[in-house]
Amino acid sequence: MKPEKIPVYCTFYDAPEHAFPGHPESPQRLQHVKSWLQNPPYPEMVWLNFMPALASDVLRVHNAKILQTLQAASRRGSHEIDSAPTYVTEASYHAALMAAGATLTVSRRILSEGCGRGFAIVRPPGHHAEADRSMGFCLLNNLAIAAADAVAHSLGKVAIIDFDAHHGNGIEAIFLHHPGVGYLSLHEEYLYPGSGHLNSTPHAQGRIINVPMPSFADPAAYLGVFQQVVKPWLMGFGAEMLFVSAGFDAHFSDLLTSATLDTDSFYQISKILVELADDYCQSRILFGLEGGYDAQALQDNIQACLAALCERSTYPDHYGPSPGHPSGSPDIEKIIALHQLRKE
């Protein structure tokens, strides 16, 4: 049974010293959010203090190599470490541990209370980071660390839903053979990192689901997937907590993708996920920030997500509705058949 009042636990970390000239993944992404959070309008929001993640926390999903490599790279100062390009600075090793720690703190608070909602508004993002390497602007896999921690401490199964426009190859690879973690990704087909094809994980059908979206996918296409694929998957998977890899780079103003979602789309998606968590995941849900590179749109989209978490219906929208493009939809019938999902 859903409790009458469900708190929304939040952390914020903008990693101000993890910055590289001209790079889209920068502290400026969160400048509008930071100003707004000084006087947030929702009393349900509970702000949590946090510490850096411990090595033992990180090593649940990463190997020692990534910590050693990241620490050594940070000692060298500012430079790019791959062609994405992903960068590090002298502050990046600490920033990565702080972002992971902030995400862990929210997850553990929700579990200690028995239920709850949360949003770790942090950078650097995480869903591309694999067990042994940082990549795709991501240093450590924040949400994967929190999900693995939840399973290690108390939960039998957790689910991760990823609506960032880029496939979360890191999350998929980390949990590829983990029966207690389900992963479902909606992402723009053919974008970086080029993974996440429809039938790329045949041994994990029904547990790992990839939904490649066509270029210029519009709100109707995304919302159709949430109703016809995400909902029946969560109904049948049996997760005790829902983690959301919340990337907002599918907004039509974002220059790194061609999707055409708008702020109302992200509100509707967040509302659906909150309701699904209430119905099927014991009212436990944690959003962790991933992409989104238009600072104004990112503020609006985060506020819309928080409005859904706090069961409100008003939020700012500086860009207005999606211009829309006829783009078609993914082959939902094929996805349903491939993963043996129950039709609504």
Helices (runs of H) and strands (runs of E) counted in the chain = 11, 10
Q: How far is the C-alpha of 66 from the C-alpha of 8, rounded, in Å?
A: 32
**Does residue 128 carry a catalytic annotation?**
yes
Confidence of residue 2 (pLDDT cuts 50, 70, 90): low
Please name the residue ranges forming H helices in the chain. Answer: 31-36, 55-58, 64-75, 92-113, 142-153, 169-174, 219-225, 231-237, 263-280, 295-309, 332-338
Q: Would 225 be classed as within a structural domain?
A: yes
**Residue closest to 341 by CA, chosen among 219, 196, 215, 226:** 226
Total-model pTM: 0.97
Q: How far is CA 81 from the centre of its chain?
A: 23
Total residue count of the chain as it appears in this document: 344
Q: What angle, 0 to 180 degrees and rounded to 10, lies between the N-to-C axes of helices 92-113 and 64-75?
A: 140
Catalytic-role residue among 18, 32, 62, 128 = 128
pLDDT value of position 1? 59
Q: Would 1 be classed as within a structural domain?
A: no
Q: For residue 139, which amino acid is it?
A: L
Residue 119 near residue 10 (C-beta atoms within 8 A):
yes
DSSP-assigned beta bridge partners for residue 183:
160, 208
74-118: per-residue pLDDT in tens?
999 999 999 999 999 999 999 999 999 999 999 999 999 999 999
Residue 120 near residue 102 (C-beta atoms within 8 A):
yes
Q: Would 98 be classed as within a structural domain?
A: yes
**Residue closest to 123 by CA, chosen among 107, 148, 108, 142:** 142
**Residue closest to 31 by CA, chosen among 310, 246, 262, 294:** 294
- Domain membership of residue 28 as a residue range: 8-338
pLDDT value of position 152? 94
CATH number, domain of 153, equals 3.40.800.20
Residue 213 near residue 259 (C-beta atoms within 8 A):
yes
Mean pLDDT, rounded, for 195-224: 94
Q: Would 3 be classed as within a structural domain?
A: no
Domain total for the chain? 1
Q: Would 111 be classed as within a structural domain?
A: yes
6-53: per-residue pLDDT in tens?
999 999 999 999 999 999 999 999 999 998 888 888 889 999 999 999
